[in-house]
Structure 1
Amino acid sequence: MAGALMLSGVTFTSCDDDNDLNTNQYVGGVSLNVFGPCPVARGGELRFLGSGLKQIQAVLIPGSGEITDIKIISDNEIRIIVPQDAEPGLVTLKHAKGSITTKTPISFTEPISIESISPLEARPGDEITIAGDYLNLIHEVIFSKDVAVSEDDFLAQSRSEIKLVVPAEAQSGKIILSDAAEEMPNWIYSDEELTVVLPAVEKVLDLTDVKPGNTVTVTGTDLSLATRIVMPNGDDVEFTVNDEGTELTFVLPANVSDGTIRMIPASGVEVAVATIGVAVPEDVVAEPAADIWAGDVIKLKGLNMELITDVLFPNVEDAVAPETQSATEITLVVPAGARSGNLVLNTASGATVEVEVSTLKPEAVGFDPVPAALAGTLTVKGRNLQNVASITFASAATVEVKNPTATEFSVIVPATLAAGANDVTLTLTNGETVEVGSIELSAPECAYATALPGEDVEIRAGETFVVTIANADKLTGVQVNGQNVQYILNGTSLIIQVPGSAGKNSNFTLLSSNGSISYDIAVIPATHVGMTIWSGMWENTGWGGNQDLAWDGYDWSQVPEGAILTLYMTPTVAEGEWWCVSLRHGDGWGSLPDPIPGQYENPENGVLSVVLTKEVLADIVANGGLIITGSQFVLNKVDIEWEISLETTIWSGSWDCGAWGGNQDLAWDNYDWSAVKPGQILRFYMTPTVAPGEWWCVSVRHGQGWGNLPDDVYSQIDQPENNLLEVTMTQAIIDDFVANGGLVLSGQGYILNKVTIE
């Protein structure tokens, strides 16, 4: 457009030196690159771009003198309003160290002017008239906050006036007339400000102690201009306005919170309509407030109780919803794991109220006998003992408590404790602890361990470990898992041989002439078996046969499926020449079944390893063992190795669970679940009877009433991956099986093939 100034075509000269200024943009120091628009309207805005322009103190335009009312946009841009008496000529920018004068003179457009705006107060949607001169050159009217109305939307336009509608988004402020040039448009500001009417309230309401669901009515003027009602948390709510725009009504939502409620018109200007203090439950008491436990029903009474959404119990992650609820009372079921402390009552507004409660604790605790012998049975008696999970002596040794009643339980006193007074602490199933005094302990008369291996000591199957014992003169023998084992007694140090078959959860027993004491130990099982079953130097020059591992030379029936047989050989031919080895069975030197081929040619590095499948082993056992034959090699050694599975099968068969049937073969007295240890893994192997991808499930339950396990774990597992379900046994699950009749397996759409434990 004619009024635009191209940035690349202007240079400037400083009055303080005769050299041309560097015209590169933003070169540093105080420099000017360009000004515009040019021509510019008197009363319009003139922009200067360059570097260090914050330092400009005054701008001189011919006919107007110094202009010091400078709008600083940034260090690279300043703006001024061109006075009405400005004349064409060079422009000078003054700063503390000198001045800059333009080479290009300023020129002016027609004298666009604003004489009046009528009316000066208008509602969005009202028509206003801008009167002045040369208004036919204006292409855009800009309201405060950059809300622009294009000439295409003017109601009327002439040299002397523009008529247009105030847009909904307009805010109060000065009006700008623009020629809409692309680079540097001419902007002419009105002297007077247009007041854009906002919705207004008679007074800001005080909504103290209101509740969700309450209806709020706001009175005022121009309320129909409101487009949004916003709650303190930022949520919008629906509202209605009467035809006169004098009443606005809305309902407080369920999650209303404290703060200011705002009314917002299309312009975005926020108007406060109410301050809110949401009602909360008051004067709340718990009944009972003490001696509560999981499964108990408690009442919370007070005012505004209908506002409670849920309640958090100490030590419980998930909030509990009320069982019943009214304006004065709620009832709750105490969740598993709840401890003493403050209940937190939550409301939808985010407000909380706390109420103190305490759990049921053991009382009047005593011991029998006193003193109690180390490694002997101790009976703990008292009240409220049914929730005891373990007992700890002297903060050093903890013993799990099994099947406690409300009045007593019995444990074996750890033999590794020190004789004398030992403080006793009871740990409840919710994790709380109760100190119940001290007990006098006496040493046992039989041989007993005074120090067991530490947790950092690894005890491995097939190796030895050391314990320190007392009354060593009474020791007559040592057993591991009921099996007599070798041992060496050196003073008070006892070296015990662990059988190679020992599993992870093992125990050892010290046998004495006057009694015995057993201890649990963690063993790292020996799962790898490897041995050389033949060695020597047997030369095979032409299909001879080594029969040392045939007939009664080796017991192949002990070898498990999947074992690896490795032959080590030395070829007797030159490198690269042909030789071979052949594996056969003893009876008639017949071939072995697949996948064993008739012969292996030139085994790499003289080593041959083969996997003995179930079929190959059966053939070797049935037909006289293994024959090694072939040609042109010396046999040096034969090794065999396999891995021992710690997985024990406790059930196998083919049981079809079509539609929530129940397999009870491991329930009631069919399996001793008390022998299972925490950490063992129960595995269920299954075959789906539905089409691939279709739904099926398995459900693990206890015998009594086919009830769910604690915390509803494993109550329904949909389509277990690889048709295998693994259950890690916890003490809670073990106790549940023991107390409730063992294991029942249910579900739908599968055949149970095998159950194992490891």
Structure 2
Amino acid sequence: MKTRYILRSMVAGVVALGAMLGFNSCSDDDDIPFHTSKLHSFGPSPAERGTDITILGEGLDGVKEVVFPVDVHVSSFTSRSSDKILVTVPQEAVPGQIKLVMSNGEIITSRSMISFVEEIEIESVAPTTVNVGDIVTVKGEYLYNIASITFDNGHEISTESFTVQTRNELSFRVPAEAASGAITFSNGYDWEETWETPLTVTAPVVNPAGQTACDFGDVITVAGSDLDQIETIVFPGRAEAYFTVNADGTQVSVTVPLDTRSGAVTATLKNGAVIELLDIVLPEIAYTSVTPSTNITAGTKLTITGSLLDRVKEIRFPGGASLTYGKWEVSEDGTKIKVAAPSGLVDGKLTLVQNENIMAETDAISTLKMGNVFWTGNIDFGNWAGFLQVAEECADDVWQVFSSTIKGTGTLTFHFTEDESSTWWQFSPVYRSDWETTFEKSGFTDLAAGANTIQVRVTEQDLEMMHGAGWAFKGCFITLTAAEWEPDSTGDDPAPVTVWSGNLEFDGSWGNKGEIAASAFSALKSGDSLVFTYAPTGTGDAQIKPMDGSWNPLSEALAANEWACIGLDDSGSYTMPLTDGDIDVLQSSGMILSGQHVTVTSIAIK
């Protein structure tokens, strides 16, 4: 065994002196809650049974009795006055706090513990291999001076928890919090002893269950013994779970939490030890593919395949946007999700979220690159409440970037998202001189459902106004997110200007169509062509049929064949010349586009 005396001889000397002179000893209790009477100090401590200790305070002539630990009442005093009591320490007293019981029923408890001078000797501790709840008996000399017992994990029990405490015997019941290892006895003051034989506390036994297939919310029952020692049960991902244990500790029933994953389920015992209960296998989502994976813009319909996709609760997109369950279509068998790409998308992987512990990443996708973007933002127009203004007098970042980019005539392309809760959307570019006069070649526009870009033609007159009163762009139920600038070319081969981007998928049934608003073609002029960017599906002959808003084929389509269908090669780009008549009907009614075995991703003016 290991006995250790804690060096406190100087303090003990002062305590003894304090007791003789009548001032402070081992305890100062001035900061206890307010009472009519106050206990300032007592001493000496360590004390000797059968001798007097001195208690100092205020209003002590109202003390009816002194209670020594544990519950030893003394009502006769050697002397008592308003500021001092002399009382004999009874033989039955053990280490702990003393209490003063007042005549009015008040009880004052000392902060410090009384301890005793007799030297403790421990002769035996038995048994040392125990179950929780067993009685351990300690034999020796002056055992009533032991104030506490500490187990190897730091859990401590004190005199109030002892079942027996006499001079020669001490017994205690093994608490559920006790851990195997060293057991240390203390008098609460200057002595402690670690018993030579470590205590072995029997752990619960779990009957092997192997891998257990289950679902979220299921109740699982595990059998074993001493399972009532379990304090918490934790599932993979650190998800704590609700559980119950039967009366004899042979079964624990636990509910599988919604935010866990497959893996080992562990239990933490009341003594801090951790045991494994079982290994669970849960239904988890799996990813196979995402299409298309390139040239994606806001609004592009993505198809994600895999298994158990009906359990996906959230889709996180590269760039920070996320959609929650209900914002996409999912097949009945859970193998396919169709979802529109949100605005703000960047290159990267999507994350499919079943819960915070079960996620699946897709392959990387890439967006359609817009090399002419010079401004990005997030201007919510609301119901004609918001606007974007460009004016020198504002002297802000918007003015700086617009004025440094736009030096001549050309085409502005605004990117936006539509408020899905509305059924109509509008846009108007105006001069700040009266907030009503529209640009010379671009005016008030009703936007089609699903649209995400609109072009504004900038003339010399518009340019002069930008450097005068300034511009304002307003509308309703859309949010401006970016602006591109394409200056008018002075060369022989001007670069195409994208007027629409998306993801029109045409299978072989001719049953699908895309509608492109007339506003997309507002910048067309005589001699212009349209450039279609596409990807053949490889399932048949790729064809498109461009028509005006009244389903009349355009000139080039009529010239192609009797069905007005234009065949496409594998190059991915087709340039269609326009007649002045084509331009008129496109600018007045827009375009209806149909086709087969091809996906059209953009249309540009050249």
- Shared topology, TM-score over 0.5? no
For this structure pair, what is the TM-score category when the shorter chain's length is used for normalisation?
0.3 to 0.5
TM-score using structure 1 length:
0.35
Mark the structure with the bigger radius of gyration: 1
Structure number with the bigger relative contact order (C-alpha 8 A, sep ≥ 6) is: 2
TM-score using structure 2 length:
0.42
